[in-house]
Structure 1
Amino acid sequence: MSAAGADKPALDISGWNRDTRPQDDFFEFANGGWLKNTEIPSDKTRWGSFVILAEESRDAVQTIIDELSAKDGLKNGSNPQKIRDLYRSFMNEERVNELGVAPIKAYLQVIEGISSKNEFGKIWAEAGRLGISNPIGAYINQDGKDSTRYALYFTQSGLGLPDRDYYFQDDERSTGLKEAYRTMLARLFDLAGLSDGLKKSETIFELEKRIAGAHWTRVENRDRIKTYNKKTREEIKGMLTSFDLKTFLEVSGVANESSFIVRQPSFLEGLNATIKEASLSDWKDYFKARVLIDFAPYLSESFAQAHFEFYNKTLGGQEEPEPRARRAVNLVNGSLGELIGKEYVQRNFPPKAKARMLDLVGNLKVAMKQSIENLEWMTTPTKVAALEKLKKFNTKIGYPDKWKDYSGLTIAPDDLVGNIIRSAGFEHEREISKLSKPVDQTEWFMTPQTVNAYYNPSMNEIVFPAAILQPPFFNMKADDAVNYGAIGMVIGHEIGHGFDDQGRKSDGDGNLRDWWTEEDAKAYEARTSKLVAQYEKFEPESGFFVNGQLTLGENIGDLGGITLAYRAYLESMKGKWPPMVDGLTGEQRFFLSLAQIWRIKQRKETTIRRLKTDTHSPPKFRVNGPVRNFDDFYKAFNVKAKDSMWLAPEERVQIW
């Protein structure tokens, strides 16, 4: 962690744009110089704070892998051997190219041999074990209404395009994307030696379009109440009369489950109709496409390039693939994340960083407690319940107390696709084994080397992996204003998720339960609806606007994050006036630090795709959006009614 910031300035003023006033466009003032002078690397779709730090994390992982890759004589089955040989299997490009489609040919032949739709239950379950996507996504998670037990969830899946809406939009750009997708499908079929690729790409697309027609929208899928539908086995059989549910469950290894949580019941009904009405031949071509798409990045160069051309270049604007070594690191991180993470932590995460983070989190929790207690719009019964939930918040920092055991996984140096399939099967078995065990409260859902953080509503916990605890987010050598503006905002953001429009629907034990009075719920929704309206006016690209409903939870988190972090910062001053540093007040440094963590530049194609699929607003509006609602920002930079950042006091949204 390079002494947590020893070689990085707390605030990078070289990236400012002094031709823009902070009162008119705060994001541009804080980041415009950097944006103007920075080129996105040709192998990236975006570049900036998060991505640069993620690259440094991958550098650290690369160093660990390189040291292991140079070693022979590692004990077979040992953790170092698995890391080394998974990496070697991807880096052996000559062998991968020699094999071509051979590693998946047997699976394509199995699909070709399907003689009846009655076999779909078996085929889809086997696909799930292999890590191949299919229309019914099945996964294990805590029961939303009983967090003490695990449950089996069913969710919609099975599309090749990023979202259902892509199939139904007919503007010029969308039409071009759909044509490019069909071109990729045809190319993959041709490379695999399958006949009539162009014709089959049309039938596959039309079948996916029918599946997409039953999909819920991303906004609908955010609703934690509507997506909690507990069903018996008989009820699901009634929805899937054309599907062999019994065999699907048996082959999946969950034959004894009697109840399930269905996120989108109408999707299963719509899928059932499509199973019945689409021809067996079309379904077989669809299954083949799923195998080809999912494994293309791990086959010979021509397959990987066809996959890249559509998913990275056409959809994201990425000009060229990342170096093969970088992609190999991604594979190791994805398949053996905690194995490599354990070594990463030992080398890169000093204990004093964890201790400092615990202090910061504690201060942010105090700020949230004070905010709840002092709210004018919330009545006492709801305040009591909110404080009880906050009191039960758990915090995880850096790395797991208990590491995952990979002893049952076999990795070979010359079998890339086999390694991926065995890894998928290993994770499948790990997941379904949860159904017979108590909930593991120590489990992490990000690796330590991940540059991110999360709130888990079922465990009512906030989690901060080691890799994000570095500049510009967390700097042991920076003043409090900088740290509270950066990592303090991140902490406050995650705390805020526990009380955002969806997080507020569960209690301190992680169970979906309405603990709000009707009066308070209406007051809350009145505020959040104003936030939705504000964000829907933001236009990151000409003709493309922020979806205020899709991004609402994250926007609430951002506004709450600033509010809590700023209050905690002032509290840390213990009544003293924040000091001037480099000609800037403490308040100004707080907001500039906040803006600096969203110093990100992304390609137009990526921005448009993320506007349709991402629950986060674009970087600029993660700064300008919340600060214009925050009174202390106006004071810090003397923002007046004539300024572009001005929002009339009655239009500002204050939740916490």
Structure 2
Amino acid sequence: MRSSRPLALAALAVALAGGLAGCQRAPTPDAGAAHADQAAAPDAGATEAVSGIDLAGIDKSVRPGDDFNAYANGTWEKNTKIPDDRSSTGAFVAVFELAEKRTAELIQGLEKTDPAAGSDARRIADYYAAYMDEAGIEQRGLAPLQPVLDEVGAIDSVAALSRYIGGSVRADTDPLNYTHFHTDNLLGVFVARGLEGPPRNVATLMQGGLGMPDREYYLSGAEAMANNRKAYRAYIAAVLGQAGTADAEAKARAIFDLEMKIARVHASVVDSQDVHKGNNPWDVASLAHKAPGIDWKAFLDAAGLSGEKTIVAWQPDAIRGLSALVASEPLAVWKDYLRFHALDHSAALLPKAFADLHFGFHGKTLQGTPQQQDRWKRAVASTSKALGDAVGKRYAERYFPPSSKAQVEQMVHNILAAFRDGVDQLDWMTPETKKIAKAKAATMRVSVGYPDAWRDYSALEIRRDDPLGNALRAEEREYRHQLSKLGKDIDPGEWWMTPQTVNAIQLPLQNAMNFPAAILEAPFFDPKADPAANYGAIGAVIGHEISHGFDNTGAEFGADGQLHNWWTPEDSAHFKAAADRLVKQYDAYEPLPGLHINGEQTLGENIADVSGLQAAYRAWRASLGGKEAPVIDGLTGDQRFFLAYGQAWRTKMREPTLRARVIGDGHAPGPYRALTVRNIDPWYAAFDVEKGQALYLDAGDRVRIW
């Protein structure tokens, strides 16, 4: 399932790459690490310190100044195979693998305790057991989905179609993607504080309706995209045929043609990132005039939104276009479209033939993954999604000790202080703008590990013999939870990720950050490792999240979470000029022949990378109290800091996955994020980077925004 939200509403720190891998520490290499012969001898206690660097993964045949990613990770990349059931592997996956294993142990262990009926433990155990009941799923066939298919079959008018579309709307709560909503939902709803006005929650409508990851999959002339389109048409026909649909081939062509029309009205990723283009409060009474086609009364009643006076249209032209298609396209095609998407959405919990077809297209074709994951992994992921806080509470209690929470909170405190100090040192920013920026950083809410309050799942029915029903009821429950926030004051402590999530997030509308427990593990955070590595890895992630509050989107929000311009014209012009240089820097990177990174699309993340790394370095240096860090494993402190950063972004991706990342993601692929170091002055001295080397930038060309 793919979903999205405007970047202004939740700027993501790090995108989880699928796959499994680990970083192994190796014995100290022989002489050859840069600067090893120039550094002071380590002190007596340093011999016991852990460097936190994967020494064996370094490729010393590459000069750091020519390709820092290849230097930091080249040997690792040569020796690493992407697991057959993953689309990529890398440092994030090392942490994900640990979280997956721990979550599986928690979930599977509950079955042995025979938890009490009605308890969250019972819900978790029953959800997982139902998902794993392959024999029962085969025996039930399409019967669990039949009520949905019957509802689609009964559609006999535009009003009925609008009612069905409204009734199938679900809440957008997944921050990993942000171009369109669930594949089977023509529209999605995001509930959060309005961009302007009182700090109350409002509903935002999002574009949706595409079965492939992004509109470019439909519109691009690239050969790879043409092949995907051909495979998608075949997949639609195969799913319909498996379900016994007559004339499956002809209906598949009509469904695909409808999705092409949907893609043509979709807003691009770059436009979807623009808070000003998305800030469109529409009076509900004017919807029929602003976006004719959908029977909006029927839609709103079914969606539970009939009581709202105002709804925000994030992609207004797309919503107009989608609404028009509801009225203009044949009802029979819409019904076939909805039938297919109901089957596609539920495929994992239908008989094996459907699950295999689903993986064949979404996994093999779109991601290049040759082998489907073991069922227990899919069951763990689904259980964790449906009962996120119930699983997360147990995860945090067992695996995230108070000592780690305190250590990370101290790092956050130090990096926030370093960020504020960095603002003071900016020679281009006016005192007025500096004052407001520092006040925003000072009031930023930091939540580490887990939320202060947990979700209540007592109203969620989980049955041991109804795996598909469990998943659909969990989605419905989440939607109702989000609707319950409408019109209420925002909760500044609300979390958007569960503790078992390997990720982090910045929330401009709350002026807050969440750092889930699961990401606070080696190689990002190791309480036994030298501080240089911790600051270079998790410290840069923390700095990244802080900086998202001041990137090209976050900088438009004040400390109160409200959208307003707090920049002087002169400061704004300087910020834009620096951002434009960063856009050009990333535009030049070419991950695949003819496919360049879009520097505008990835700008917010790139700003956060540069500024976050700068703040983490400054905080680490301040933590030394004026002393030099010891040499460990033949590496100076600065070298360990930057190597930890580079190795945190080590990534190996299958070509279709890499292509999808470049086309539709707001983040540059990991190997290019590792090159952020070329904008940081101390990196040059740490690795003797000289003019003429590929990554060298003259001092005036190095981008520094904060």
Shorter-normalised TM range: over 0.9
Q: Does 1:102 align with 2:143?
A: yes
Residue-by-residue CA offset, 1:357-405 (whole Å, 9 max, x unaligned): 1111111111111111111111122112111211210000000111111
- Matched position secondary structure for 1:607: helix
Alignment check: 8 A CA contact 2:266 2:318 kept: yes
Is 1:345 aligned to residue 396 of structure 2?
Answer: yes
Do structure 1's residue 42 and structure 2's residue 93 form an aligned pair?
Answer: no
For 1:193, give the aligned amino acid: G
How many corresponding residue pairs?
A: 650
| 2:169 match: secondary structure | helix
Q: Distance in 1 between matches of 2:575 and 2:231?
A: 44
Q: Verify the 8 A CA contact 1:86 1:413 in the aligned structure 2.
A: yes
What does residue 125 of structure 2 align with? 84
Report the secondary structure of 1:148's partner residue. Answer: coil
Give the letter aligned to residue 679 of structure 2: N
Instruction: Decide whether the 8 Å contact of 1:86 with 1:411 is kept in 2.
Output: yes
Take 1:572 and 1:75, find their aligned partners in 2: how far apart are those partners?
Answer: 49
Contact 2:543 2:611 in 1 (8 A): yes
Structure 1 residue corresponding to 2:416, chosen from 334, 344, 365: 365
Q: What is the distance in 2 between the residues matched to 1:457 and 1:463?
A: 12
SS of 2:201's partner is strand
Asked if residue 649 in structure 1 is aligned to residue 699 in structure 2, the reply is: yes
Distance 2:489 2:532 in 1: 42
Pick closer, same or farther for the CA change 1:204–1:591 going to 2, 3 Å. Answer: same
> 1: distance between equivalents of 2:331 and 2:139?
33
C-alpha RMSD of the superposition? 1.6
**CA 1:514–1:80 in structure 2 vs 1: closer, same or farther (change >3 Å)?**
same
SS of the residue corresponding to residue 634 of structure 1 reads: helix
Once the 2 structures are TM-superposed, how far is the Cα of residue 121 of structure 1 from its aligned partner? 2.3
630, 633, 637: which one aligns with 2:687: 637
C-alpha separation in 1, matches of 2:170 and 2:579: 41
8 Å CA contact retained: 1:239, 1:272: no
Q: 3-state DSSP class of the match of 2:502?
A: coil
- Matching residue of 1:496: 547
For residues 300-349 of structure 1, give each alpha carbon's deviation from its aligned partner in whole angstroms, at most 9, with x where no partner exists. Answer: 11101111111111010111110000000000111001101111111101
In structure 2, C-alpha distance between the alignment counterparts of 1:575 and 1:167, rounded to whole Å: 56
2:55 counterpart residue number: 13
The structural deviation recorded for 1:71 is: 3.9
Note the C-alpha offset of 1:441: 2.2
The alpha-carbon deviation at position 101 of structure 1 amounts to 1.8
Partner deviation per Cα, 1:66-115 (whole Å, 9 max, x = no partner): 2112344x322111110000000110001111222221122112212211
Q: How does 1:610-629 map to 2 (within 5 A)?
A: 610-624=661-675, 626-629=676-679
Aligned residue for 2:29? Answer: none
CA distance in 2, matches of 1:280, 1:29: 58
Q: Does 1:187 align with 2:238?
A: yes
Question: Match for residue 163 of structure 2?
Answer: 122
Letter in 2 for 1:295: S
**Which residue, 96, 111, 121 being the options, matches 2:152?**
111
Residue pair 2:51, 2:633 contacting (<8 A) in 1 also: no
Q: Which residue of the partner structure matches residue 577 of structure 1?
A: 628
User: Secondary structure of the equivalent of 1:225?
Assistant: helix
- In structure 1, which of residues 155, 159, 174 is the aligned counterpart of residue 225 of structure 2? 174
Deviations 1:574-594 (A, max 9, x none): 111222222211111110111
Q: Over residues 207-233 of structure 1, what are the superposed CA-to-partner deviations in whole Å (9 max), with x where a residue is unaligned?
A: 111111111100110111111111101
Structure 2 counterparts to residues 229-240 of structure 1, below 5 A: 229-240=280-291
Amino acid at match of 1:42: D
Which among 115, 123, 134 is matched to residue 93 of structure 1? Answer: 134
1:154-165 to 2 correspondences below 5 Å: 154-165=205-216
Letter in 1 for 2:108: D
2:435 aligned with 1:393, yes or no?
A: no
CA contact (8 A) 1:629 1:652 kept: yes
The CA deviation string for residues 45-68 of structure 1, in whole angstroms up to 9 with x for no partner, is 011111121111010011111211
> Percent same amino acid at aligned positions?
39
Q: Which one-letter code corresponds to 2:692 in the other structure? A: K
Provide the residue aligned with 1:380 in structure 2.
431
Q: Equivalents in 1 of 2:281, 2:98: separation in Å?
A: 43
Do the aligned partners of residues 517 and 7 (structure 1) sit closer, same or farther apart at CA in structure 2, a change above 3 Å counting?
A: closer
> Structure 1 residue 486: deviation in Å?
0.8
2:491 is matched with 440
Q: Does 1:471 align with 2:522?
A: yes
> 2:274 maps to which residue?
223
After superposition, give the CA deviation of every residue in 1:587-641 in whole Å (9 maximum; x if it has no partner).
Answer: 11110111111122111111011101111111111111x1111111101111111
State the one-letter code of the partner of 1:47.
Answer: T
For each residue in 1:447-495, what CA deviation from the matched residue of structure 2 results, as whole angstroms up to 9, or x when unmatched? 1011111100110111110111111111111111111111110111001
What pairs up with 1:143-154 in 2 under 5 angstroms? 143-146=194-197, 148-154=199-205
2:194, 2:222 → 1: CA distance? Answer: 41
5+ residue gaps, structure 2: 1-24, 26-47, 172-181
1:25 aligns with 2:75: no
Name segments (4+ residues, structure 1) moved above 6 Å: 5-9
1:69 correspondence with 2:111: yes
Q: Which moved more, 1:163-172 or 1:33-42?
A: 163-172
Which residue identity does 1:33 align to in structure 2?
T
1:54 corresponds in structure 2 to 96
CA distance in 2 between counterparts of 1:132 and 1:479 reads 45
Q: For residues 589 and 260 of structure 1, what CA distance do their matches in structure 2 show?
A: 50
> Which range is displaced more, 315-324 or 242-251?
242-251
1:450 matched to 2:501 = yes
- Structure 1 window deviating more from structure 2 (245-254 vs 315-324): it is 245-254
Amino acid at match of 1:417: L
Secondary structure of the 1:401 match is: coil
1:645 to partner: Cα distance: 2.1
Instruction: Find the aligned partners of 2:150 and 2:303 in 1 and give their Cα distance.
Output: 21
The 1-side partners of 2:618 and 2:108 are apart by: 45
- The CA distance in 2 between the partners of 1:147 and 1:102, in whole Å, is 47
User: Any unmatched runs of 5+ in structure 1?
Assistant: none
- Cα deviation 1:420-445 (Å, max 9, x = unaligned): 11111111111111115332222211
Instruction: Identify the residue that residue 611 of structure 2 maps to in structure 1.
Output: 560
2:49 touches 2:530 (CA, 8 Å); kept in 1? no
- Contact 1:118 1:243 (C-alpha < 8 Å) held by counterparts: yes
* Counterparts of 1:8 and 1:520, CA distance in 2: 43
Aligned to 2:602: 551
Which has the larger helix fraction? 1
Tell me the CA shift for residue 282 of structure 1. 1.0
Work out the CA distance in 2 between the residues paired with 1:103 and 1:184. Answer: 22
What SS does the aligned partner of 1:137 have?
strand
Q: CA deviation at 1:129?
A: 5.6
Partner of 1:588: 639
* 1:304 matches 2:355: yes
Whole-angstrom CA distance in 2 between matches of 1:363 and 1:456? 20
For residues 307 and 136 of structure 1, the distance between their equivalents in structure 2, rounded to whole angstroms, comes to 22
Matched, 1:527 2:578: yes
Does structure 1 retain, via aligned residues, the 8 Å contact 2:630–2:637?
Answer: yes
Paired AA for residue 123 in structure 1: Y
> Partners in 1 of 2:192 and 2:625 — Cα distance?
43
Q: 2:679, 2:704 within 8 Å by CA — same for their partners in 1?
A: yes
**Residues 9 and 307 of structure 1, relative CA distance in 2, 3 Å threshold:** farther
Q: Which residue of 1 aligns with 2:587?
A: 536
1:111-144 CA distances to partner (integer Å, 9 max, x unpaired)?
Answer: 1221111212210122126988322212311111
- Aligned pair in 2 of structure 1 residues 103, 7: CA closer, same or farther (>3 Å)? farther
